[in-house]
């Protein structure tokens, strides 16, 4: 697999996360779960969800249409480095807020409130799966960065 293939995989990775972020209101049943929040806090969650999706679509655009620049230029390498740092911080935050062993099972998330396809799995299984998905994102972007010519 060439380094460009890693970049393409990174583009698909970011498109999937963009779609995931846009689906948060459905998955987490925001109409019900955020009903007790005031309008400002509700709006902030929707805005941040949309901005995350925009960031991921922007990353995907670069990874699909600016591959040579990402691999062969200093600015492209900085973008790849930023992506690696972004997902590293996200993985660290996953551990900080959800733990890796049993902490997530004590989250106040009612399984029946979620429109999530893994109804039989625990919060911890889902949290740990996302941690490894974030690590995958780090690796997919780190390999081309380490072997780039920029």
Task: Using the CB atoms, write b or e for 71-101: b if 16+ within 10 Å.
Answer: beeeebbebbeebbebbbebbeebeeebbee
Confidence of residue 39 (pLDDT cuts 50, 70, 90): very high
Distance from the Cα of residue 97 to its chain's centroid: 15
Is 46 within a domain?
no
pLDDT > 70? residue 117: no
**Per this entry, what is the length of the chain?**
150
Residue 27 inside a domain? The answer is no
Domain region containing 106: 3-19+56-146
Q: Name the domain count of the chain.
A: 1
Model confidence at 11, pLDDT cuts 50, 70, 90, reads very high
pLDDT tens string 119-146: 556 667 777 889 999 999 999 999 999 9
Tokens at 6, concatenated = 């890693």
**140 belongs to a structural domain:** yes
pLDDT band, very low/low/confident/very high, at 92 (cuts 50, 70, 90): very high
pLDDT, tens digit, 9 for 90 and up, residues 18-30: 999 999 888 888 8
Both tokens of residue 39?
């309008």
What is the spatial distance between Cα 115 and Cα 84, in angstroms, rounded to a whole number? 30
């Amino acid at each position: 697999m060439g380094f460009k293939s890693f970049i393409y995989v990174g583009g698909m990775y970011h498109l999937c996360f963009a779609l995931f972020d846009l689906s948060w209101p459905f998955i987490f049943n925001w109409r019900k779960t955020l009903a007790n929040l005031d309008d400002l806090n509700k709006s902030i969650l929707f805005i941040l969800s949309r901005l995350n999706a925009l960031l991921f679509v922007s990353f995907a655009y670069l990874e699909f249409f600016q591959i040579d620049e990402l691999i062969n230029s200093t600015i492209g390498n900085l973008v790849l480095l930023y992506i690696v740092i972004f997902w590293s911080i996200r993985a660290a935050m996953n551990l900080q807020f959800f733990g890796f062993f049993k902490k997530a099972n004590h989250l106040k998330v009612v399984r029946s409130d979620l429109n999530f396809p893994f109804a039989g799995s625990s919060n911890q299984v889902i949290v740990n799966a996302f941690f490894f998905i974030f690590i995958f994102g780090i690796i997919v972007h780190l390999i081309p960065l380490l072997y780039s010519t920029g």
